[in-house]
Amino acid sequence: MSRVWNFSAGPAALPEEVLRQAADEMLDWQGSGMGVMEMSHRGKEFTSIAVQAEADLRELLAVPADYRILFMQGGAIAANAIIPMNLIGGKRVADYVVTGAWSQKSQKEARKYAEVNIAATSEASDFTTVPPMADWKLSADPAYLFTCTNETISGVEYPFEPDLARIGRGEVPVVADMSSHILSRVIDVSKYGLIFGGAQKNIGPAGLTIVIVREDLLGRAMPHCPAAFDFRIVAENASMYNTPPTYGIYIAGLVFQWIKRQGGVAALEARNVAKAKLLYGFLDGSGFYENRVDPACRSRMNVPFFLKDESLNDAFLAESKAAGLTQLKGHKSVGGMRASIYNAMPLAGVQALVDFMRDFAARKA
Amino acid sequence: MSRVWNFSAGPAALPEEVLRQAADEMLDWQGSGMGVMEMSHRGKEFTSIAVQAEADLRELLAVPADYRILFMQGGAIAANAIIPMNLIGGKRVADYVVTGAWSQKSQKEARKYAEVNIAATSEASDFTTVPPMADWKLSADPAYLFTCTNETISGVEYPFEPDLARIGRGEVPVVADMSSHILSRVIDVSKYGLIFGGAQKNIGPAGLTIVIVREDLLGRAMPHCPAAFDFRIVAENASMYNTPPTYGIYIAGLVFQWIKRQGGVAALEARNVAKAKLLYGFLDGSGFYENRVDPACRSRMNVPFFLKDESLNDAFLAESKAAGLTQLKGHKSVGGMRASIYNAMPLAGVQALVDFMRDFAARKA
């Protein structure tokens, strides 16, 4: 077996330790005589797995006691509908900050359920920056303000937490799609009304959605909201109103334990800063490659880059793959290349990429 | 490692061959250098897995060319909302046949989206039978007629296919929740408008929902239907409008290949008939245990039973568990015991259960 350096934007590389443990336990979890996939979600074995996963996530993100953690399904695309269905309540308008393809998609879907006010957008810059909070134009009484704090496709990450108290609107709950950078940096959960993310980038397998929601936002669902996606019902049933994606929760739990062994989120953040510094530093100094994102808003997780001579793209992809560096092709809407360097990508993987890129440039320049 | 005989109603036992292959490939799928959980859903590796899984399921159930197979999320409970949202179209009423807890839950959820007509119900018999089609009272112009063709909780299975042409109403599409018996018996897909099932009973891990839908039923979704759950959008995007539960699709695909190696659905049906005959035959002849379901409608998959002396329940559960026979406790709404004997449970497992039960009865009678 030879593992590659996998730069997929998601589903993405997982820590080898996690995969080894999952393989070892596939037919027999801790002497139970069953694999995790085969367990009743209501049995004591799986209940202990789910309870531990939730407790570990709560510890890792220092989630306050008045927030509920929900394990759901559908990913961020389903959440784009589920969130307005749950949070519009008696209000008319929801505010959206649009910083890339994901928040753009979110606001479009929300229009099925509410009037949408675009509080700010960086579309004019081709989604290469995040508009400063001082320029956000909130509506008078929005149900919530939606943000996507890391845009996977354009590689833009908020360099600040969207704490609306700083612009005198602390009463408006902030919703944040953190799919592609949750657990990669220290955050203050208390600044948000709701945080969500598909697991398939920084946590675990596709098919699991993590929702962290302040309790006072429960119980506002529209009559048309499916019961399985009503946050209040999911919370009251400890994420077991419908059968949850049990294996995904188990893998996520193993990832949470792995993060704790690494020293927690702060330790991973330091590692992520070092990885990003190495890669962006190389790109900027290369003369051969470039990243086009506002340096203040560059994502530590998703690094899109271009060869200045794009006629070399195919050669770059073929040769990098041959060197064991895979899934580097950029998103079709952006072009070029993209290296996603989530928590599970070690510095050694980024170093291998930089070494290859330096060599490729030297050979082709 | 010592495996138990696992009678869980779901998530449920999987074939050992499937689990062994999954464990072997966890870090490196077929020389790709990645595990399946780590693959982009749009890459050629995962695409080949999904295409093969769909083709194998199509072959196993002889799905006609004008039906689409969708891999979705949310399980049957989410489907209870997603189906009316997709199929009501311009109509006002949906018909439901209620034969147990699951179809009861389905019709309640549907009332959010449509007027519901209960075409038939076996509630008066405490859900121990299936009303004959001759007694079904369809409404004048329903969008569809909903059935749950195997009720996991009460252990009731349709002894016939709900082919409405037999009562002169062939124009009404039949929807069937087959979560707990799909692939356990030969069916004629062409008699249905839509077949669906959560995977976690007879197919694979929780978090994957299989939908088989006739193409003319696509494109009718309500304006409030989330895009991720609009059958037309899911079909047009080959189940990749949102990131699908990739690992679940992979495991399902391994199960489909396992079924093919067993000789297909007909071969499994013969095995399931033999398993059910053994267990029901023993129950009926025991004098110590009983099954209370109409003999014509007994499920081959889920066998609820009672000890005539219920004061022995705790001893039965403790001693069966000690003998390596697990998850036999009945659903709380029914009480007693339940043995779920899906495709992955071999005759040897049922024989082990019967041997234990005979011995237990001899010792306690």
Predicted confidence (pLDDT) at residue B1 exceeds the cutoff of 70: no
Predicted-assembly ipTM surpassing the 0.85 threshold: yes
Residues B303-361 have pLDDT tens digits of 999 999 999 999 999 999 999 999 999 999 999 999 999 999 999 999 999 999 999 99
Residue of chain B whose Cα is closest to the Cα of A251 = B37
Chain B CB contacts of A180 under 8 Å are none
Q: The domain at B17-261 falls in which architecture? A: 3-Layer(aba) Sandwich (3.40)
Mind listing the pLDDT tens digit for each residue in A63-74? 999 999 999 999
- For A342, name the nearest residue in chain B, comparing CA atoms only: B38
Task: State chain A's mean pLDDT as an integer.
Answer: 97
| The pair of three-digit structure tokens given for residue B226, joined into one six-digit string | 């989330």
Name which of A243, A328, A333 to mutate to probe chain B: the one with the most chain B Cβ atoms within 10 A of its Cβ: A243
Q: Does B83 contact A at CB distance below 8 Å?
A: no
- Nearest Cα residue in chain A from B246: A206
CB atoms within 10 A of CB A333: 10
What is the pLDDT confidence band of residue A30, given thresholds at 50, 70 and 90? very high
A15 and A344 Cβ atoms separated by less than 8 Å? yes
Q: Which DSSP letter does residue B9 get? A: S
Residue B365, pLDDT > 90, answer no
Task: State which fold the B264-364 domain adopts.
Answer: Aspartate Aminotransferase, domain 1 (3.90.1150)
Question: Residue A365: what pLDDT?
Answer: 81
Active site residue: A5, A102, A136, A258, which one?
A102
Q: Which of A24, A75, A246 sits opposite B206 (nearest CB)?
A: A246
- Name the residue ranges covered by the structural domains of chain B: 17-261, 264-364
Distance CA A314, CA A327 (A): 13
Size (chain A), residues:
365
The average pLDDT across B221-239 equals 97
A-B contacts at Cβ under 8 angstroms: 234
The mean pLDDT of A344-365, rounded to a whole number, is 97
Between CA B38 and CA B36 the distance in angstroms is 5
In terms of pLDDT, which residue wins out, A1 or A319?
A319
Query: How many Cα atoms sit within 13 Å of A290 on the Cβ side?
Result: 7
Name the percent of chain A lying above pLDDT 70.
Answer: 100
Residue A1 reports pLDDT greater than 80: no
Q: How far apart are CA B161 and CA B62, in angstroms?
A: 16
CATH (residue range A17-262): 3.40.640.10
DSSP secondary structure code for residue A362 in this structure: H
Helix, strand, coil fractions of chain B, as percent rounded to 5: 40, 15, 40
Which chain A positions have a beta carbon within 8 Å of B349's beta carbon?
none
**A4 — phi, psi (to 5°)?**
-95, 165
Give residue for tokens 């109103």.
A241
Is the backbone peptide bond immediately before B84 cis, with ω within 30 degrees of 0? no
